Chain A
Amino acid sequence: MGERERGVGAHPAARRGPPPWTAMTGRRAGALASKALGAAGLALGAALAVLPLVSPSPYLSHLFATFWLWAAMSQAWNLVGGYAGQFSLGHAAFFGAGAYAAALAWTNGLGAAAGTALAGLAGAVLALPVGWLCFRLRGAYFVLSTLAAAEVVRLCALNLRGITGGAVGILLPPLSGGQRAACALGLALFGLATLTSALVRGARLGYRLRALREDEDAAEAAGVPALKSKLWALSLSGGLCGLAGALFCAQTSYIDPGSVFSLADVSIPAALGALLGGWGALWGPPAGAGGVVLVAEAMRVLLGRAHGLAYGLLLVLTVLLVPQGFCGLLAARRRAAGGEAGAGRP
């Protein structure tokens, strides 16, 4: 499809190893510094994770619940978009399917746990036909087909009024425990997403996905089952998005097709977090999601309702200025400086 010679998803920074003249001392100092930085980051992260759980401010809890939700979504997107290099813009389909599955289960008297499980299942199962259709295409055509597939799912939710209630949406009783509970659940979801991402990264599936990203034809020739691996990744990703949809549904206690299947409000921020933070890296997506949530919130405060403007500007600037994301940028800079620790290790 024409993009072969340009190399799909090749990490230009990853091809270069550390320069041979790197002095041992510099390397050790770099590793030590990065370890200290990592420890400081971990401590800061732990403090930030606990603070909104004990803080009396519902706004802070709401903000953090939103952050954990999008960090988890970006982490889920990264399984397919980062590791396998398949830039999906259809993740709203899985998010919305999860939200609707949970809402319908809860309004029909199923328990909280059963509804949540159904939401995850809905996302994971929906990913199979979507992936089966879209993974036949590569590059931009894959991106566009996922966009179209999510739109088809949205139109189904809008028009199957007997099941979904159509454009009216579904109203739910508010979450007991309020925003603080949503924040705790969000943290748990983010933990699950990060654990999945870390496990996939080290497992055979992760290596297969990265091989497919670097050169799909070569990987297939070497015996990597392309469709099967990508479907596994998309299904895992879709399941996590389904759970995120359930959390969104519980947090806002109202859903309609326009909000949960939205390209601009769901698919784009999920992808944007990973792209901004560094797709393919483990800690890139949550870092990027933090930036996305903060900028969107700032825009909401300053301009009113135009957080879409923030997403648009961030997307344009990311693609133009930091196409590898901040983790990729850091890794490249560290390599250039002679260190060997690679946050953006592909």
Chain B
Amino acid sequence: MGKLQATLVFTEALINGVLVGGVYALVGTGMALVFGVMRFINLCHGELVMVGMYLGWGLFTVAGVDPCLSALICLPPLFWAGRGLYRLVVRPLERSREQSQVLLTLGLGLVLSNAALLIFSGDYLAVYTAYSDLVLKAGPLRVSVPYLLAFALACVFTLGVWAWLFLTAAGRSIRATAQHREAALAAGIDTGRVSSLTFGLGTALAGAAGCLLLPVYYLHPGIGGLLTGKAFVVVVLGGMGSCVGAALGGLLLGAAESLGAVYLSAAWKDAIGLLAFLLVLVLRPSGLVGRSRV
């Protein structure tokens, strides 16, 4: 009986970890896309996720829109907001030193999170949907429905982005630019427009991920920094700039955190990801799966 119990605990922790990991993967995919195509390190990605969360929360409290639907509604405005952001502050620094990009996006993140603090105050907000407390029982295993839903939709979004990248002309030009910018330019691809599209897409994905996180996470202005950290760990684990790597990295980080919280201590959960990040950077900079283009 004791052994069965232990197996159950392990399986549940693993399942929960993978479910959260699906959303981490979606957050990381946006960042990986921007890095892979533009070689631009976007440290305000988590704050953009936070913007999506506030949008979803606003839609829910004002109009009662379900967060899953808000994830779709958020896509166009955040896509254009991302393109605007690219035009305004990212483009002047696209070819400059990496340190400047880090500082710039860190500053942008501070502006966004402090603006949220001014507008919404530091209160913790949450969205309670009809399915918030539902639990799915499969034999002795119990799985939370909102987590499952967030995971399923994150998978749909991630697969949708891949399909878009592989099946459309715009997606092809983005992949071409990621593979070799100069060659893509020589082949007649407007790489400036590709960068703008990519940044818009990354921002839109961040917003969608924010809406999907809404039933799972409490929302507060400080969450952006936390999510940026997670996204960056995911991207580095997967090999900088690889979208497949980011997806795997997300699942891995989710599972590692969940298992670590069960078997080590919940308090050290966040340290696990950071230590993994430092170790991967130092020991295997190309990431766990990706090829290195860094």
Residues of A close to B232: CB separation below 8 A: 144
Contact A139 B99 (CB under 8 A): yes
Interface size for B (C-beta < 8 A) is: 43
Mark each residue of chain B from 117 to 129: 1 if its CB lies under 8 Å from any CB of chain A, else 0: 1100000000000
Chain A positions 86-117 with a Cβ under 8 Å from a chain B Cβ: 87, 89
Contact A1 B107 (CB under 8 A): no
Residues of A close to B107: CB separation below 8 A: 311-316, 319
Residues of B close to A308: CB separation below 8 A: 110, 113-114, 117
Q: Does A151 sit within 8 A of B, measured CB to CB?
A: yes
Contact A139 B115 (CB under 8 A): no
B271 in complex: contacting residue of A8, A152, A264, A323, CB < 8 Å = A152
Q: How far is the CB of B235 from chain A (nearest CB, A)?
A: 10
| Residue from B99, B110, B281 whose CB has the most chain A CB atoms within 10 Å | B99
A8 to B96, CA, bound (A): 10
Q: Does B277 sit within 8 A of A, measured CB to CB?
A: yes
Given A1-B294, A311-B107, the answer on whether A6 and B97 have CB atoms closer than 8 Å is: yes
Q: How far is the CB of A202 from chain B (nearest CB, A)?
A: 26
A318 to B267, CA, bound (A): 37
Q: How far is the CB of B223 from chain A (nearest CB, A)?
A: 14
A and B contact pairs by CB, cutoff 8 A, 7 listed: A137-B281, A141-B281, A144-B232, A159-B271, A306-B114, A319-B100, A319-B104
Chain A positions 143-157 with a Cβ under 8 Å from a chain B Cβ: 143-145, 148-149, 151-152, 155-156
A312 to B117, CA, bound (A): 13
Residues of A close to B277: CB separation below 8 A: 148
Residues of A close to B113: CB separation below 8 A: 308
Contact A313 B111 (CB under 8 A): yes
| Residue from A89, A141, A313 whose CB has the most chain B CB atoms within 10 Å | A141
Contact A320 B93 (CB under 8 A): yes
Residues of B close to A306: CB separation below 8 A: 114-115, 117-118
A149 to B117, CA, bound (A): 26
Contact A263 B225 (CB under 8 A): yes
Q: Taking chain B's interface residues, is the majority helix, strand, or loop, or is none over half, making it mixed?
A: helix
A-B pair number, CB within 8 angstroms = 122
A275 to B115, CA, bound (A): 23
Residues of B close to A36: CB separation below 8 A: none
A151 in complex: contacting residue of B39, B92, B108, B274, CB < 8 Å = B274
A306 to B120, CA, bound (A): 12
Contact A309 B110 (CB under 8 A): yes
| Residue from A149, A308, A314, A319 whose CB has the most chain B CB atoms within 10 Å | A319
Contact A140 B41 (CB under 8 A): yes
Contact B267 A312 (CB under 8 A): no
Given A137-B282, A140-B98, A145-B278, the answer on whether A87 and B117 have CB atoms closer than 8 Å is: no
A152 to B273, CA, bound (A): 10
Mark each residue of chain A from 1 to 44: 1 if its CB lies under 8 Å from any CB of chain B, else 0: 11100101100000000000000000000000000000000000
A152 in complex: contacting residue of B103, B275, B294, CB < 8 Å = B275
Contact B99 A87 (CB under 8 A): yes
Given A308-B117, A309-B115, the answer on whether A143 and B274 have CB atoms closer than 8 Å is: no
A261 to B39, CA, bound (A): 30
Contact B89 A133 (CB under 8 A): no
A244 to B265, CA, bound (A): 33
Q: Interface on B for A, CB 8 Å cutoff?
A: 39, 41, 89, 92-93, 95-104, 106-115, 117-118, 225, 229, 232, 265, 267-268, 270-271, 274-275, 277-278, 281-282, 285, 294
Interface size for A (C-beta < 8 A) is: 46
Q: How far is the CB of A240 from chain B (nearest CB, A)?
A: 22
A309 in complex: contacting residue of B98, B99, B118, CB < 8 Å = B118
B110 in complex: contacting residue of A6, A156, A315, A323, CB < 8 Å = A315
Q: How far is the CB of B283 from chain A (nearest CB, A)?
A: 9
Contact A148 B278 (CB under 8 A): yes
Q: 9 closest Cβ contacts across the A-B interface?
A: A312-B110, A315-B107, A140-B98, A312-B111, A309-B114, A316-B107, A308-B114, A155-B271, A319-B104
A311 in complex: contacting residue of B104, B110, B267, B268, CB < 8 Å = B110
Residues of A close to B99: CB separation below 8 A: 87, 139-140, 143
Considering the complex, give the chain A residue whose CB is closest to the CB of B39. Answer: A2
Contact B102 A312 (CB under 8 A): no
Q: Does A268 sit within 8 A of B, measured CB to CB?
A: yes
Q: Does A136 sit within 8 A of B, measured CB to CB?
A: yes
Q: How far is the CB of A88 from chain B (nearest CB, A)?
A: 10
A106 to B61, CA, bound (A): 50
Chain A positions 250-284 with a Cβ under 8 Å from a chain B Cβ: 263-264, 268, 271, 275
Residues of B close to A318: CB separation below 8 A: 103
Residues of A close to B93: CB separation below 8 A: 319-320
Residues of B close to A139: CB separation below 8 A: 97-99
A313 to B107, CA, bound (A): 6
Residues of A close to B117: CB separation below 8 A: 305-306, 308
Q: Does A303 sit within 8 A of B, measured CB to CB?
A: yes
Given A3-B98, A136-B282, the answer on whether A268 and B106 have CB atoms closer than 8 Å is: yes
Q: How far is the CB of A248 from chain B (nearest CB, A)?
A: 20
Residues of B close to A87: CB separation below 8 A: 99, 102-103
Q: Does A233 sit within 8 A of B, measured CB to CB?
A: no
